[in-house]
Chain A
Amino acid sequence: MTKLLLRRLLSALPSLVGVIIVTFILTRLLPGDPAAYFAGPTATPDSIAQVRHQLGLDRSAFEQFVTYVEQLAHGDLGNSLTSGQPVLSDLVARLPASLELTLCALVMATLSGVGLGVGAALQPGGVVDWICGMVSALGQAMPTFFLGLLLVFVFYFLAGWAPAPLGRLDISYSTPSDITGFWLVDTLLEGDLEAFGGVVRQLILPVVTLGLFGIGPIARMARASMIEVLNSEFVRTARAAGLPRWKVLWVYAFRPILMPVLNTVGMVFSFMLGANVLVEKVFGWPGIGAYAVDSVLASDFAPIQGFVLLMAALYVVINLLIDVLGVLLDPRVKFDG
């Protein structure tokens, strides 16, 4: 078992290495002068030369790469021109906001998707099946940023139910102190139930926007897997043996679909890491997506590089976790390798 986990861990390493190499290529070997990018649009030729020397851009590609890796190892992702801070500290400060949003959206999409998919499988051609199909199709075609704006328009401007899309917490509430950075947790830890409610209200629309796309693939996988399992021979054995219906459904049919569903959840998470950028912009969310967008508009290049690196690393790590979870949940993996 541990050997299997180790093997999975090792297989993630090439991806991480690849990610580092690609970000290096993206940022250093571009057309034009990378130093000019990093020095910023207002730099003088002197400061550009200074930056070039600082970043080691006047040396060979290989040496540059070594320096790059060294810097990474020390957590040096360069400095942001707009904030003046090291990119790493900017990212760390903003990461919890993005993670909270993404994880909530992921949980929402997974629960809804599995619910819809299983419901659809139990009654093919029924109402749930139809809803499942509609939601899937809608989620696939709807541009995330458009959905966000639409929701804001309908629920904030027209209906007045949702709060203004101005970030994580309305100014009328007191911001919780950063214990975990996840305000859902922090407000509860401080016992500030009003603020907790405020955080939840701000989260609803962004979570729906980000999560809607994810419901489709998860529901489809859950539905297809469930149908396959319900028609399988071992479910037939369970029924023939006289097991009660609830047991056949939940203990015998549901468990084997967890692995394929989990894999789909991983893919959805990857999408969400990307769509994060759009959702944060629409809802004024102070996360790393917004950080990246602002940096793009300001031609501030180091944060963009840090952002890409971080997102990719996050994805590799999450995939690894999902792999590990899969091994724990599904013993079949042991035999297929």
Chain B
Amino acid sequence: MVERVTSPPAGRRVNPRTAGAAAIGLLLVLGAALGPVLVPFDPVGTDTSASLNPPSWVHWFGTDQLGRDIFSRAIAATQIDLLTAVLAVAASLLIGSLLGALAGWRGGWVDAVVSRVLDTIMAFPLFVLAVGIAAALGNSVFSVVLATAVVNLPFYARQVRAEVNRRRNAGYVEAARLAGIGPVTIVAAHIMPNLLPPLMVQSSLNMGWAILNAAGLSFIGLGIRPPQPEWGIMVADGASYIISGEWWVFTFPGLILMLAVLGFAFVGDALRDRLDPRRA
């Protein structure tokens, strides 16, 4: 009859997730770094005689329509997908933080302009903007990275801007300013360290999204060009074979993709639990 509703304790669920996150993260990094070297088959070498073979002991994930080993391709794809995502998130983080810090520190018309720019970016549905940028710049890793970076910018910029704005008038900042310390040093040394935890959480969560974005763009033909192995392209290739029953062509790349995204989501959650417990 009388109830007081409380949130379930968050602590209990951290351990399996952190373990999972660590495991997946390790696998991803290993796959990205060593994948192309260690895989049993050549990711781009075709062998039409072995076309569309179901999974077997030889080909763990089966082969695609050109006889390429899907397992090898999926592992090799880790490199490019991860690289794209890391570059994109790093670019977003850096440029976003710079813009945010500038806007938060200077205020006035600088802030107004930057805020309008951010609002405009956010006015576009994310994937749509990515499509637009990628279409304009052509098929390449660069265009995917740029598209993903631009689309993710506002999240970082806003966070940094808010924090810098908040602390701009703090006592110790005033003291530093009076002591003649330049604004760049103040922002970098005094304000940014507070931001690192939430920014790190945001980055790892964004990694998952960046991978999805890259895969999505490639799926519709806007990203990485074949014969480069990339998870999105592989799923796209496999799509045509669903109705003829060769399910392995699209399933495995998709599952690996999902695992990668989940892994980063777990990392992000684990980071958030550790670094910012009140938001857990």
Chain A–chain B contact at Cβ < 8 A: yes
- Chain A interface (Cβ within 8 Å of chain B)? 14-16, 18-19, 21-23, 26-27, 30-31, 121-122, 124-125, 129, 137, 140-146, 149-150, 152-153, 156-157, 164, 226-227, 230-231, 239, 245, 270-275, 277-278, 281-282, 292-293, 296-297, 301, 304-305, 307-308, 311-312, 315-316
**In the assembly, what is the distance between CA of A153 and CA of B216, in Å?**
19
Tell whether B108 is near chain A: CB-to-CB under 8 Å: no
Contact residues in A for B132 (Cβ distance below 8 Å):
23, 26, 304-305, 308
Tell whether B212 is near chain A: CB-to-CB under 8 Å: yes
Q: How far is the CB of B55 from chain A (nearest CB, A)?
A: 15
**In the assembly, what is the distance between CA of A141 and CA of B207, in Å?**
11
Contact residues in B for A156 (Cβ distance below 8 Å):
243
Cβ-defined contact, B116 with A18, below 8 A: yes
**In the assembly, what is the distance between CA of A21 and CA of B250, in Å?**
39
Q: Which residue of A lies closest to B244 (CB)?
A: A157
* Closest 9 pairs (CB-CB, A-B): A274-B127, A18-B120, A146-B254, A273-B125, A308-B132, A274-B125, A230-B5, A125-B8, A141-B262
Q: Which residue of A lies closest to B5 (CB)?
A: A230
Sampled A-B contacts (30; CB under 8 Å):
A16-B123, A18-B120, A19-B124, A21-B120, A23-B132, A26-B136, A27-B136, A31-B137, A124-B5, A124-B8, A140-B261, A142-B261, A143-B232, A144-B216, A145-B215, A146-B258, A153-B242, A153-B250, A164-B243, A226-B5, A245-B1, A273-B128, A274-B125, A277-B131, A282-B239, A293-B221, A296-B220, A304-B132, A308-B128, A308-B129
Given contacts A26-B132, A124-B7, A140-B265, is CB(A15)–CB(B220) below 8 Å? no
Cβ-defined contact, A143 with B127, below 8 A: no
**In the assembly, what is the distance between CA of A145 and CA of B121, in Å?**
24
Contact residues in A for B221 (Cβ distance below 8 Å):
293, 296-297
Contact residues in A for B208 (Cβ distance below 8 Å):
140-141
Cβ-defined contact, A274 with B261, below 8 A: no
Q: Which residue of A lies closest to B205 (CB)?
A: A140
Cβ-defined contact, A271 with B5, below 8 A: no
Q: Which residue of A lies closest to B3 (CB)?
A: A230
Q: How far is the CB of A281 from chain B (nearest CB, A)?
A: 6
Cβ-defined contact, B258 with A143, below 8 A: yes
Contact residues in A for B121 (Cβ distance below 8 Å):
22
From DSSP, what is the main secondary structure of chain B's interface residues?
Answer: helix
Q: Mark B113-152, 1 if CB is under 8 A from A, else 0.
A: 0001101110111111111110111000000000000000
Cβ-defined contact, A296 with B135, below 8 A: yes
**In the assembly, what is the distance between CA of A68 and CA of B117, in Å?**
20
Cβ-defined contact, B123 with A312, below 8 A: yes
Contact residues in B for A308 (Cβ distance below 8 Å):
124, 128-129, 131-132
Contact residues in B for A141 (Cβ distance below 8 Å):
208, 258, 261-262, 265
Q: How far is the CB of A287 from chain B (nearest CB, A)?
A: 13
Tell whether B245 is near chain A: CB-to-CB under 8 Å: yes
Q: Which residue of B lies closest to A224 (CB)?
A: B7
- Contact among A19, A121, A153, A292 with B247 in the assembled complex (CB-CB below 8 Å): A153
Q: How far is the CB of A233 from chain B (nearest CB, A)?
A: 12
Q: How far is the CB of B102 from chain A (nearest CB, A)?
A: 18
Q: Which residue of A lies closest to B135 (CB)?
A: A304
**Additional pairs, 19, CB under 8 Å, beyond known A305-B132, A316-B123:** A18-B117, A27-B136, A124-B7, A143-B212, A143-B254, A150-B251, A227-B5, A227-B7, A231-B5, A245-B1, A270-B125, A270-B126, A272-B125, A274-B127, A281-B219, A281-B220, A308-B124, A311-B124, A315-B125
